[in-house]
Amino acid sequence: MKVLIVGGGGREHAIAVSMKKSSRVEKLYCVPGNAGIAQIAECEPSIGVMEFDKIVAYAKEKAVDLVFVAPDDPLVGGLVDALEAAGLRAFGPRQNAAILEGSKAFSKDLMKKYNIPTAAYETFDDPEAALAYLETAEMPIVLKADGLALGKGVLICNTLEEAKAGVKEIMLDKHFGSAGNRMVVEEFMTGREVSVLSFVDGKTIKTMTSAQDHKRAKDGDQGLNTGGMGTFSPSPFYTDEVDEFCKKYIYQATVDAMAAEGREFKGIIFFGLMLTPKGPRVLEYNARFGDPETQVVLCRMKNDIIDVIDACIDGTLEQVDLQFEDNAAVCVVLASDGYPESYEKGYVISGLEKFEDAEGYYCFHAGTKATEAGVVTNGGRVLGITAKGQDLKAARANAYAATEWVSFENKYTRHDIGKAIDEA
Ligand code: AMP
Ligand code: GLY
């Protein structure tokens, strides 16, 4: 079959590599794609992920059998609905279900209504009311812009002054655009964070192996929030006991809640969990694969990804036995120095060929571009160097060793991805 992937980052490259392994896939397409994806798929860099009409037309022109919509913006904007309306088979939640990620107020209300464990919260449309509430609230406190904000619309405020400044930033100065028309104010929780991705067919949910992201730009979790600087999988903190609790109170409950609301969810649900002293709590939901969680999860999946996707679309996921390798993987992001603020682009990347025959090593492209001079840097996050190992420590050593195989001007990486493993 022919498959079109919508997106163009490291996550999409990992999805493409996983699909390439499927005996059922004869040809892959990707919009817009990147230089890495272009090695295994026909890319159309001129089509953006929000150009729905162009994507529909491209999918029809190439007569694809399946469209995989990976990023949050087109999912929340209704690309799956547009594809289906045009008679195409698409994987991902429809717009009425992608709201699980698209509105934090929606997801918090859902959790409250269906008793799914999460931090206590209030929602505000009016900055004055938010300010009045904060006067009596306990600090630290967490402010979240309601809508999509590239994972950056969350402010953790230690003092009332910071919280007041945060309300101004989100609701008045509209630092995160219209995502800040509404704001959720949330209780501050402590604990380790774990990401659990899952396949969902509307009724059944099957979780994948756990992972952990490193969101801050600098070592020791310092610096600004980013899209993610590295991941490891599985998380040693995601114990059987935690899994049992989440199965009982979070995973199926979320799928059932969406169905009960008339918002049947088919696709990927990403549970951002915090393991608090009082037990696991939902930090956030995403309606898609995580980036760079996907890079360390899919490379360990034993199933044919197309079979699992088909089962999600057809409502037969219950029959799928989802299996992961009994090993570990670590992804270290190579970024352009200065990310997530300002950085330079256009530097030639050398050493990429070293990954070609290296079993268990992957060089997932994020911000790259093919030019006549070779592959050049084209974004803040450039590559996700990923390696497997028999355990987490071996995978980490392998991934860091492989970060040395490639070089480019202004290459930046965190040095402590997976350091938490040593405390497990
Ligand atoms: P989110 O986009 O909602 O996952 O938030 C981004 C990051 O902010 C999370 O990964 C956490 O590190 C942190 N965070 C979000 N909500 C809370 C909370 N209620 N308490 C403590 N930290 C939080
Ligand atoms: N790595 C976090 C995310 O994809 O939102």
Q: Tell me if 385 sits within 8 A of 399, measured CB to CB.
A: yes
Q: Is the pLDDT of residue 152 over 80?
A: no
For tokens 């059987």, name the residue: 240
**Are 132 and 18 members of one domain?**
no
- Among residues 276, 291, 319, which one ends one of the domains? 319
- The C-alpha atoms of residue 200 and residue 161 are separated, in whole angstroms, by 42
pLDDT at 286: 97
**Are 225 and 285 members of one domain?**
yes
β partners of residue 276 = 279
Contacts of 10 (CB under 8 A, 6+ apart): 291, 292, 294, 295, 331, 333, 364, 365, 366, 381, 383, 384
Average pLDDT rounded to a whole number, residues 311-335: 98
In a domain, 70, yes or no: yes
**Are 127 and 206 members of one domain?**
no
CATH of the domain at 381: 3.90.600.10
Average pLDDT rounded to a whole number, residues 289-311: 98
In a domain, 205, yes or no: yes
Q: Is 152 in the pocket of ligand 1 (CB under 6 A)?
A: no
Alpha helices in 193-300 (DSSP H): 240-246, 252-260, 293-297
Number of domains observed in the structure of the chain: 4
pLDDT at 96: 98
Q: Which ligand is nearest to the CA of 230?
A: 2
Average pLDDT rounded to a whole number, residues 54-83: 98
pLDDT at 166: 94
| Ligand 2 centroid, distance to 291 Cα (angstroms) | 5
| Ligand 1 centroid, distance to 394 Cα (angstroms) | 29
CATH of the domain at 259: 3.30.470.20
Instruction: Round the average pLDDT of the chain to a whole number and report it.
Output: 96
Q: Which residue has the higher pLDDT, 391 or 227?
A: 391
pLDDT at 224: 87
Q: Which ligand is nearest to the CA of 152?
A: 1
Tokens of 124: 């505000």
Q: What percent of the chain shows pLDDT beyond 70?
A: 100
pLDDT at 149: 83
CATH of the domain at 175: 3.30.1490.20
**Are 135 and 55 members of one domain?**
no
Q: What is the dihedral of CA 312, 318, 321, 324, to 10 degrees?
A: 60
pLDDT at 150: 72
**Are 297 and 339 members of one domain?**
no
Average pLDDT rounded to a whole number, residues 115-135: 93
**Are 392 and 286 members of one domain?**
no
**Are 200 and 238 members of one domain?**
yes
Average pLDDT rounded to a whole number, residues 213-242: 95
Q: Is 119 in the pocket of ligand 1 (CB under 6 A)?
A: yes
Q: Is 26 exposed, middle or buried (0-12, 13-18, 19+ CB in 10 A)?
A: exposed
Q: Is the pLDDT of residue 194 over 90?
A: yes
42-64, pLDDT tens digit by residue? 999 999 999 999 999 999 999 99
Q: Which residues of 111-146 are buried (b: 16+ CB within 10 A; e: fewer)?
A: beeeebbbbebbbbeebeebbeebeebeeebbbbbb
Q: Tell me if 345 sits within 8 A of 336, measured CB to CB.
A: yes
- Indicate which residue's Cα is closest to atom 4 of ligand 1: 284
Range of the domain at 129: 120-187
pLDDT at 151: 67
- Indicate which residue's Cα is closest to atom 5 of ligand 1: 154
Angle at which helix 104-113 crosses helix 95-102, to 10 degrees, equals 90
Q: Is 384 in the pocket of ligand 2 (CB under 6 A)?
A: no
pLDDT band at 236; cut points 50, 70, 90: very high
82-100, pLDDT tens digit by residue? 999 999 999 999 999 999 9
CATH of the domain at 34: 3.40.50.20
Q: Pick the range with the lowest mean pLDDT from 12-16, 131-135, 262-266, 317-321.
A: 131-135
**Are 152 and 42 members of one domain?**
no
**Can you give the C-alpha Rg of the chain in angstroms?**
21
248-279, pLDDT tens digit by residue? 999 999 999 999 999 999 999 999 999 999 99
**Are 293 and 174 members of one domain?**
no
- The C-alpha atoms of residue 59 and residue 200 are separated, in whole angstroms, by 24
Beta strands in 127-191 (DSSP E): 141-145, 154-157, 183-187
In a domain, 325, yes or no: no
pLDDT at 153: 85
In a domain, 102, yes or no: no
**Are 127 and 142 members of one domain?**
yes
- Sign of dihedral through CA atoms 20, 288, 202, 88? negative
- Among residues 319, 339, 358, which one ends one of the domains? 319
- The C-alpha atoms of residue 204 and residue 319 are separated, in whole angstroms, by 10
**Are 140 and 234 members of one domain?**
no
In a domain, 324, yes or no: no
In a domain, 104, yes or no: no
Q: Is 118 in the pocket of ligand 2 (CB under 6 A)?
A: no
**Are 128 and 36 members of one domain?**
no
- Indicate which residue's Cα is closest to atom 9 of ligand 1: 283
Q: Is 212 in the pocket of ligand 2 (CB under 6 A)?
A: no
